[in-house]
């Protein structure tokens, strides 16, 4: 059965500051037929690889300042968008978005791109999901770069996370640009707006 999805129009991603990278897509991932996943893939394909996993509600754009530094070291850099984020397809039904839905997609993408000698770079939900990958792929993942995240161990995350959940539940039409500007005051207006680019309206 085909999953009903939305796809953000390409013109939403024109002229983003510090983002010259060509989009790449796969739509044949095992278990995710017809769902298009976006990723940036720069640098030599046979080099060691930095795989950069973003959190919520951001997308690959989060790594715009780290990406050129990694490339400058001679590495390959891959920055995918989770399904529902960035330039990846956005399944319409909320029930689709479970932990295994995201985790299994990333495993399928790593295998599809045959990523090896990986330094896994994780932030926020990119870490909650990504830090579960090395034990299943020890032959591919060599190193970790861990930022602002945790490894879930089945205990409550605390009042800060509870407050965030309550905020998200009360604001289904989240203003991502305003949220990012408040959380990261050094952002320019154009940078903050870039985080909202994937979401033209509440349907997305």
| Tens of pLDDT, residue by residue, the chain (204 residues) | 467 999 999 999 999 999 999 999 999 999 998 999 999 999 999 999 999 999 999 999 999 999 999 999 999 999 999 999 999 999 999 899 999 999 999 999 999 999 999 999 999 999 999 999 999 999 999 999 999 999 888 888 899 889 988 988 998 899 999 999 999 999 999 999 999 999 999 999
161: how many CB neighbours lie within 10 A of its CB? 11
User: Of the candidates 88, 70, 71, 72, which has an alpha carbon nearest to the alpha carbon of residue 80?
Assistant: 88
Give the H/E segment covering residue 24: strand 24-26
Compute φ and ψ for 39, nearest 5 degrees.
-155, 155
Q: Which helix (H) or strand (E) holds 38?
A: strand 37-42
The answer to whether domain 5-151 has CATH 3.50.50.60 is no
Give CA–CA dist 150/126, Å, rounded.
10
Spans of all domains in the chain: 5-151
Q: Provide, for the chain, the percentages of residues in helix, strand and coil under a 3-state DSSP scheme, each rounded to the nearest 5.
A: 30, 20, 50
Q: Report the alpha-carbon distance of residue 174 to residue 159 in Å, rounded.
A: 20
């Amino acid at each position: 059965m085909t999953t009903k999805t939305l796809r953000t129009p390409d013109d939403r991603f024109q002229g983003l500051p510090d983002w010259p990278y060509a989009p790449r897509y796969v739509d044949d991932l095992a278990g995710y037929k017809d769902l298009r996943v976006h990723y940036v893939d720069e640098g030599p394909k046979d080099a060691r690889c930095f795989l950069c996993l973003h959190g919520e509600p951001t997308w690959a754009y989060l790594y715009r300042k780290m990406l050129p530094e990694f490339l400058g070291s001679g590495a390959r850099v891959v920055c995918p968008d989770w399904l529902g984020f960035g330039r990846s397809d956005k399944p319409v039904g909320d029930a689709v978005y479970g932990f295994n839905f995201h985790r299994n997609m990333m495993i399928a993408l790593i295998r599809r791109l045959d990523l090896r000698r990986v330094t896994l770079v994780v932030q926020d939900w990119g870490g909650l999901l990504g830090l579960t990958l090395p034990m299943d792929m020890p032959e591919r993942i060599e190193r970790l770069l861990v930022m602002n995240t945790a490894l879930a161990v089945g205990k409550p995350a605390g009042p800060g996370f509870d407050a965030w959940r309550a905020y998200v539940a009360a604001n289904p039409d989240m203003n991502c640009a305003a949220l990012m500007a408040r959380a990261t005051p050094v952002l320019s207006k154009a940078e903050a707006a870039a985080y909202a680019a994937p979401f033209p309206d509440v349907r997305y």
